[in-house]
Chain A
Amino acid sequence: MQVVFEQVINGLTIGSFYALIALGYSMVYGVLKLINFAHGDFFTLGSYVGYTILVWVSGLTVVHFGLWGLIVIAMFVAALAVALTGLAVERVAYRPIYPTGRLPAVVSALGASIFIQNAIMVVWGPRFQAYPSKLIPNIKFVLGGVNITLLQILILLMSFILMAVLYVVIQKTTFGAAVRASALDRETASLMGINFKKVIFFIFFLGPALGAMAGVMVGMYYRQISFTMGWNYGLKAFTATILGGIGNLPGAMFGGLILGVLEMLGAAYISAAWKDVFVFLILILVLIFRPNGLFGERVAEKV
């Protein structure tokens, strides 16, 4: 039984990475109906920017801000740098292409993905990079026989706070309602006085920022990062988005967490090598019975 709980905690940890990345996919898809294939690479870029702060300029920062300050700064700088990259990519690779339709934009997104990946390779080199090993004290807590590390607690805490904040902004504020309205019907939203460009700014700032923070957390958790890892995480996060119901933010969050837990349980009880097969099998089953995803809603519209 303890193994189950431990695997659930491991699963929630990697699930929260998926969830944070999935939110970016889901927001962009919801508003623009665009699958932003570059999003996984925003995540990688965040991981590398965080790495740079933690390794290259850590000495100075630790002296002034302490270890926790350093981590906060690494997260913040990564989020900001990647958010700005996200806005630039939207401006350069997507905005000129919207009028030509959805498919060309998807191709452009693939191009942006390849571009960012190679840019990372050029700047940081093709080899794996390693996050500092003793960043967070390796403290283990035992709760009812279940092991959980300090790092895991921190990751879960940070992810849940970020998700809760985003949830409140999107679901409880008028600006959040404007984002959802723009996703439903852009033209009518503009009749409300909603500036669509501001909505795009919002999603292309926040989505990449959340992905970047997930990137820093992944670096701290696995310690090893590579310039191609965005593809794998992006694919999983995209799967989580579909699982939860694309365009639905709570769906993306729960989709990510569920996916992470399933993956870890599959790895423990079926086979570590076959864990992805297990995950996608579940995805297929969900889509057969709930084509709009677990949380995808369809309100019957009366005309």
Chain B
Amino acid sequence: MTKEALLAVDDLHIFYGSIDALKGVSLFLNRGEIITVLGANGAGKTTLLNAISGIVPSAKGSIRFNGNLLNGMPAHEIVNMGISQAPEGRKVFSTLTVEENLNLGAFTRRHRKGDVLEAKERAHALFPILKKRYRQLAGTLSGGEQQMLAIGRALMSAPKILLLDEPSLGLAPILVNQIFDIIGEINRQGTSILLVEQNANKALGIAARAYVLENGQVSVSGPSEELRSDEKIREAYLGGRALKKK
């Protein structure tokens, strides 16, 4: 399986000082797929994404993209290879305009004006509101708009893999639905997606497969459908009620 996978994480260990945040996590993402990583706060979900993005150094194990080892590669080169992240809490550059935020998303290919323009048109098509807010400072956008900007910005580098860290965080249900529809659309346009979520219900609805992280380890993994019907998962992450099939 890992031979063909676009992204393969194998036995990944991460330490923050003496605290082991990840204790041997393995997962893979196939080309064209959406997978989701679920888990409670502090389970290590964000750490996993930051390790893939090269922000957090990994102590042991490997991260491979298209067969190339990413371990030890600086974050800015990983973006250039085709993996980009919309981080937790949006992290838009608040005193920069929407336009500048989008331009920075395409920073690694800023000299290829045609590509930047094309990526911008794509972002505008997915998130028309960004076009309307184009000259506004990002800090003045609403939470939902900032999330859209964060995702649009991450798409500006035309990534092969998009890492999404809790895109539904703090958003009203109607906005969550909207964001998830767009995530589906991005995937249909050909981007593979690794989605980290606390909203397990929505995440399992969109992802083909899922991993559950508990205390830095994968406790359960499998096709989303299987996890939906798993009694323990339902109790821990889905509010315990029987779910209707989508």
| A193 is an interface residue with CB less than 8 A from chain B | yes
- Is the C-beta of A166 less than 8 angstroms from some C-beta in chain B? no
B107 & A174 in contact (Cβ 8 Å cutoff): yes
Q: CB < 8 Å: which of B54, B96, B108, B110 contacts A181?
A: B96
| B-chain residues with CB within 8 Å of residue A299 when the two chains form the complex | 94-95, 137, 139-140
Cα of A194 to Cα of B157 in the assembled complex, Å:
12
Interface window among A21-29, A183-191, A254-262, A274-282: A183-191
The chain A residue sitting closest to B79, CB to CB, is: A193
A95 to B82, CA, bound (A): 29
B114-156 vs A, Cβ < 8 Å mask (1 yes, 0 no):
0000000000000000000000010111110010000001100
Complex: A178 Cα to B157 Cα, angstroms: 15
B104–A192 CB distance below 8 A: yes
Q: How far is the CA of A302 from the CA of B153 in the complex (A)?
A: 18
Question: Separation in Å of the A201 CB from the closest CB of chain B?
Answer: 14
Interface string of B16-57 (1 = CB under 8 A from A): 000000000000000000000000000000000000011100
With a cutoff of 8 Å between Cβ atoms, the chain A residues found around residue B146 in the complex are: 302
Interface size class of B (residues with CB under 8 A): 35 or more
Given the complex of chains A and B, what is the CA–CA distance between A195 and B54 in angstroms?
12
B75 an interface residue at 8 Å Cβ cutoff? yes
Let me know if B103 is at the binding interface, CB within 8 A: yes
Instruction: Tell me how far the C-beta of A195 lies from the nearest C-beta in chain B, rounded to whole angstroms.
Output: 5
Give chain A interface residues in 191-211, CB to chain B under 8 Å: 191-196
Taking CB as reference atom, which chain A residue is nearest B108? A193
Residue B100 is within 8 A (CB to CB) of chain A in the complex? yes
B167 an interface residue at 8 Å Cβ cutoff? no
B139 touches A195 (CB 8 A): no
A137 to B54, alpha carbons, bound, how many Å? 59
In the complex, residue of chain A having the shortest beta-carbon distance to the beta carbon of B153: A192
Partner of B143, one of A192, A297, A303: A303
Q: A180 contacts the other chain (Cβ, under 8 Å)?
A: yes
Verify A184–B104 contact, CB threshold 8 A: no
Interface residues of B in 85-100 (CB under 8 A from A): 85, 87, 89, 91, 93-96, 100
- From known contacts A174-B107, A194-B76, A195-B74, infer whether A180 and B55 are also in contact, taking CB-CB under 8 Å: no
CB-contact partner of B104 in A194, A196, A297, A301, under 8 A: A194
Residues of B within 8 A of A297 (CB): 95
- Residues of A close to B85: CB separation below 8 A: 191
Judging by beta carbons under 8 Å apart, are A302 and B93 in contact?
A: no
- Whether the Cβ atoms of A192 and B79 lie closer than 8 Å is yes
Task: Give me the interface of B with A, judged by CB distance under 8 Å.
Answer: 53-55, 74-77, 79-80, 84-85, 87, 89, 91, 93-96, 100, 103-105, 107-108, 110, 137, 139-143, 146, 153-154, 157, 170
Instruction: List chain A positions with a Cβ less than 8 A from chain B.
Output: 174-175, 177-178, 180-181, 184-185, 187-196, 297, 299-303
